[in-house]
A and B are shown apart, each in its own frame.
Chain A
């Protein structure tokens, strides 16, 4: 007949023995018991998968594993002081450890073979997909945008200059129908400046009391003016090609910011043997190579208010910053929020881990004794 007895390591008098008061172990001892569990095995076999290290690791690991198996036998009771006493009473089981490691080794070898096959297959497929430049356009380099880092804001002076470039160079063909004048307030212009800018355009407004449509000067709440009435008019004026709306263009194109900058500054003569028909222009970054838009950014095309020299690259950088802001005006708030929340939640994760370990420590340190009665 068998009887279960459970001994909690706590201030409990059990029979005539008095146990030591339980001590919650420090964090560096929290996971030492796990080396003999399945988690420990997974960690070991995963480590063994590194092909050029596996043999070396195995040899050095053999010596370590025997020591760990000894230790894990002790840590049924996870109490530092008992560790010292019980070490003498230890029975070492090296043969058992070897068997376990042997099957783990063949397992890890199979896993390594499968992994290698998968990787080589994937690599082969990707190489085929990436080879067609004419289809995808020339790959654009990654430029070091000032607003690139996790805590980097837009350069607001650049947004202002970029809006100026858009207004004077691009707005004759490209609409930005999702941006209103009021979006610029507090970002690139003061309220008075924006009101003055809006008042320069004429806006058609809804029926008056007599039922007639009328025109009025623009207000802050009006959207940016559209160059063409509809898409057909835009196509007709541009040889059949529709100049896309630029409100979201940096999000609507793959690697949008770098792509737009590369495109605007990438006009060049076609290579020998490539002929572009009349009405189109050669641009290697445009998929297909033949784009309907001519080169618009020419040195000195715009005179900046703050006196910055208006080179082609400067105008390209400013207009792309402006377009990036237009597509993602929430970026600064998003980055701040993300940084704060991830920081605080990481601390909360540490607290939650500690609290869980604290509450579970009673159960993790208990000992079940199976005993024969009579």
Chain B
């Protein structure tokens, strides 16, 4: 079996991700917990923006005659 000298550690996204996050378990766990907290906030915000963009004019706040029944009494 001849020795191959082409030994270049190719970067790639997975490789760099592994090096940063998955080398130590403590870093991994911290990443998971912090990521869950921040990720939930980000996903909530993003999906909410998408929802509002998709439902222009259909919200409760957009009802044109809101409160007018009361003023008729």
Q: Footprint of B on A, CB under 8 Å?
A: 17-18, 20-21, 23-24, 26-27, 81, 85, 146-147, 149, 151-157, 160, 186-190, 192-193, 196-197, 305-306, 336, 339-340, 343-344, 354, 358
Contacts and interface: CB of A to CB of B under 8 A. Distances in A.
Interface residues of B, number: 34
Contacts of A197: 69
Interface in B32-73: 39, 43-44, 47-48, 50-51, 54-55, 57-60, 62-70, 73
Contact of B54 (A20, A152, A192): A152
Contact of A146 (B9, B14, B58): B58
Interface of B: 1-4, 6-7, 9, 12, 14, 18, 22, 39, 43-44, 47-48, 50-51, 54-55, 57-60, 62-70, 73
B58 A155 contact: yes
Contacts, number: 82
A90 to B, nearest CB: 15
Contact of A152 (B55, B66, B73): B55
A153 B59 contact: yes
Nearest to A160: B63
Contacts of B3: 18
A187 B7 contact: no
A18 B60 CA distance: 71
Contacts of B66: 189-190
B30 to A, nearest CB: 16
Contacts of B39: 344
Contact of A85 (B4, B59, B60, B63): B4
